[in-house]
Amino acid sequence: MKILYYFIICLFFLFIFNSFAQDSTKIPKVKITELGKNLYEITLLSCNSIVSAGPDGILVVDANYKEAGKYLKAEIEKLKGAEINYIINTHWHFDHVGGNEILANAKTIIIAHEDARNLLLKDQFLLGDTIRALPKNALPNKTFIGSYDLQFNGEKIDLLPVSGSHSAGDIIVYFKSSNVIHIGDLVFADMFPYVDYEHGGSAFTLESNLQIIIDMLPDDIRVVPGHGRIYSKEDLRKYKEMVSSTISIVKMEKDKGKSLDEIQKADVLKDWKSWGIAFTCNDWIEIIYNSK
């Protein structure tokens, strides 16, 4: 696997968190954005969580790295108390579920797609490293396959499956009253996506699900990605156009019988290099080439 950037980024943040653990005077930079009544985005070292904090208690979408859990918890406590009623995991990757172990208590309901829980039940190999299975107290204890919804803090929250896009077990979380959606890692804002095709993801499914999401959303929606800035619907549309255009280019070359190496050396995505921030053109070509 040649896609090393995401892995390197993860190692970098783990190194940072280790330095925080050794020096309690250091605190990672946190950005809090108010999204609506009782609703907040908490950005902590590249990962975006959504927190609903109101009369019913606390609901968290995505729990960050395990090493970041105590810092995320401290920010949540500033909003409203310490007891977390719900944690929703948009998918199985460790930078979205690691904090489950820190945030959850015996009464916390952890919700995820059934496919995501299945991946978390045992060790997985991802981006050159072994990702250990989650301990029992951090595993999702409520799973679903079709859609699922909650009424919480005066808002209907729709959990919608988009499995097989970024990975097996992807979901999006739609706060309808606040007109906000957490789209997980279907979007890496302003850069090429990462698709975990070794664990059920596909660039082609990502493309089709992005269009389905765009078609269902109102024009004034605010889209919170797993990483990066908040998107408008127009931003999401442009992102999907990039995905579709680049997939079309790579697929056309592959259909001609060209190898992955030949397509990469031909620099077929040269017009899209501005998107190569965390993942290069060649990384994205590799993902498209190996997607089913």
Residues 104-123: tens digit of each pLDDT:
999 999 999 999 999 999 99
pLDDT in tens, 165-190: 999 999 999 999 999 999 999 999 99
- Contacts by 277-281 with C-beta closer than 8 Å and gap 24+? 277/190, 277/191, 277/192, 278/5, 278/6, 278/9, 278/188, 278/191, 278/192, 278/194, 279/3, 279/5, 279/6, 279/188, 279/191, 279/192, 279/193, 279/194, 280/5, 280/192, 281/192
> Mean pLDDT in the chain?
91
The residue ranges of every structural domain in the chain are: 5-290
Q: What does pTM read for this prediction?
A: 0.91
Question: What's the whole-number mean pLDDT along residues 11-29?
Answer: 51
Domain 5-290 coded CATH 3.30.420.40? no
For the chain, the distance separating the N- and C-terminal CA atoms, rounded to the nearest angstrom, is 16
Percent of the chain whose pLDDT exceeds 90: 84
Please give the pLDDT value at position 120.
97
Task: Identify the pLDDT of residue 45.
Answer: 82
Q: Output the pLDDT for position 20.
A: 45
Give the number of other Cβ atoms within 10 Å of residue 229's Cβ: 13
pLDDT at 83: 84
What whole-number distance in Å separates Cα of residue 135 and Cα of residue 101?
Answer: 8
Per-residue model confidence (pLDDT) at position 26: 63
Going by pLDDT thresholds of 50, 70 and 90, the confidence category of residue 204 is very high
Contact yes or no for 15/27 (Cβ under 8 A): no
Model pLDDT, residue 28: 80
**Residue 168, pLDDT score:** 97
- For 69-89, the pLDDT digits (tens) are 999 999 999 987 668 999 999
Strands 109-113 and 142-144, sheet pairing: parallel
For 120-133, how does the pLDDT look when each residue is reduced to its tens digit (9 = 90+)? Answer: 999 998 877 888 99
